[in-house]
Structures are given as C-alpha cells and as structure tokens.
Structure 1
Amino acid sequence: MRERIRVSTGSPWEHAVGYSRAIRIGNVIEVAGTTAMKDGEVVGKDSAYEQTIYILEIIKSTLEQLGASMSDVIRTRMFVTDISKWEEIGKAHGQYFKDIRPVATMVEVKSLIDPNLMVEIEVQALINDICFKDDKN
C-alpha cells in the first residue's frame, strides 16, 4: 500500500467530518473543495473574482507542500453559486492556468456552506509522470 501524505486544513471540523485539504498517494494529488474562508470569515465577500484568486493561492500553497506546482494540475472543478459570474471566475482561473490548460468544469450549485461564498474549487494534479510533447493547440 502506498503512503498517504496529507495536508491539513487546520479547520476544527476536519477530524469530526473526516477530511483533509489534500492527499498525495504516489504521483497523484487530490485537493479537496476549497473556499475563500480565512479565520471563519469569507475573503472577497462581494467578489467572485477575489474569492477565486484567494482559493487558487490556497491551492497553489497546498500543492507546493506536497512537492507539486500549479503546472502539475490536470483537472479543475469549479462550483459556483451564480453562473452569470463565470467571466470573473474564468478570468482568475486563466491567470493561473492560461498556459497549463487543465481540463476544467464549472457548474452552478444552489449554495455553499456559507451564503457569502460564491466559489469552491477542487483540483487534481499528477506529478513525475511521463510527459508527451504538447500539441500546441
């Protein structure tokens, strides 16, 4: 069985609910749904763009703790409470992934755990894998 390397959220609910911010097993990293919460408060309360930037910075830091980088991300999933804000969210996503171009999904959901949250993002990364030449498309 491969070793599980975990990154904690630091949340008081982590143990009770049974989750981690991220787990690396071998060359696969999964980062859990991440929101723009800091010390129990929503960062960028009125801005989907600011929330997305904050979330992606958390994800970047998490990946680095596991020996990876944003360039290792192969999939992003974005859960948004107002799909009409897709351009703001997409602009922030593009700032991090314009050249990496992982597969991405953005779906509208009814709500997130706090009514002021507009975005939740999870990612999957693959590191130390055989790379094929980019098709430049």
Structure 2
Amino acid sequence: MGDDRQLIGSGSPLEPEIGFSRAVRRGAHVAVAGTAPIGDDGGTVGPGDVYAQTVRCLDIAEAALRAAGASMADVVRTRVMLTDVTRWKEAARAHGERFARIRPACTFVEVSRFIDPGWLVELELDAITDGGGE
C-alpha cells in the first residue's frame, strides 16, 4: 500500500471478516463503500421505511467522509441501490435534502437483495477533496 492510503473503519464486525474499509482515501480521492442502514445497536434502522434508511446510510457515509478529512460538499458521485426501484422517490427525497446544492452525478439501481433482508437501500459515495491525503 502507498504511504498516502488512509483506511477509515466504522467499527463494523464485517470489515475485518470481509476485508474492507468503510472508506478509503488516497490523495484527494475518497471512496465510501456500500453503506447499509445499520443503527448503533447493530439493528436495521427504519424497518420498511426507505426514506429513514436512506437518511441513516447518508449519516454513516457522511461520518466516514469527515473521518477521511472530506465533506458532503466534496462528493462527486453517489450510487443508490434499492431492492424496489419503484420506491426511488423516497430515497431521492433524502438524497436531495443533502445534495440539492452539491448535485453529484447520481445513479439509482435496483438489486435483488442485500445481506440483511430488512435493508431496502444501500449507498456508495465518491468524493474528491481540494487537498491531498494525511
């Protein structure tokens, strides 16, 4: 690994098991991994509620960005994955609340399922900061 590679963990027990980081920063680039609506207690936030789950995903992703020295204003791409794409407007409402002024490139896709069947949405973010890595 290069000296400028910064790994950001979220404390998930799956990180070491799978071999991934919540986010990785290399230079000015920050990638946030697929982020599920997991609460501090390990349970699913907002069962059945796409909007609430999307808000939780955004909160987790934003914390990872901050830990990497970035912010939501640095986000250039988002990916919103839903188990039912017909509910995209619920996720879009939460996305729009955070990104209305930033307006990153954004993709909504439908997936067949996630690791936990209670998860209705996952999010990925990519950011580019003005400065280099730590």
1:113-128 counterparts in 2 under 5 A? 113-128=115-130
Q: Distance in 1 between matches of 2:71 and 2:18?
A: 27
Asked if structure 2 preserves the Cα contact closer than 8 Å seen for 1:2 and 1:26, the reply is: no
Q: Distance in 1 between matches of 2:102 and 2:96?
A: 9
TM-score by length of 2: 0.92
Q: Distance in 1 between matches of 2:17 and 2:114?
A: 19
Q: Distance in 1 between matches of 2:17 and 2:57?
A: 23
Q: Percent identity?
A: 43
Larger Rg: 1
For residues 6-44 of structure 1, what are the alpha-carbon distances to aligned partners after superposition, in whole Å with 9 as ceiling and x for unaligned? 111212221121000001000000000001012321001
Note the residue ranges of structure 2 that are not aligned, 5 or more in a row: none
Aligned residues: 129
- Letter aligned with residue 101 of structure 1: R
Q: Distance in 2 between matches of 1:91 and 1:61?
A: 20
Q: Which has the higher contact order (CA 8 A, sep 6+)?
A: 2
- Look up the match of 2:59: 57
SS at match of 1:105: strand
- Look up the match of 2:96: 94
- Look up the match of 1:42: 44
SS at match of 1:100: coil
- Letter aligned with residue 33 of structure 1: G
For residues 64-89 of structure 1, what are the alpha-carbon distances to aligned partners after superposition, in whole Å with 9 as ceiling and x for unaligned? 11111100000000110011111110
Note the residue ranges of structure 1 that are not aligned, 5 or more in a row: 130-137
Q: RMSD over aligned Cα, in angstroms?
A: 1.1
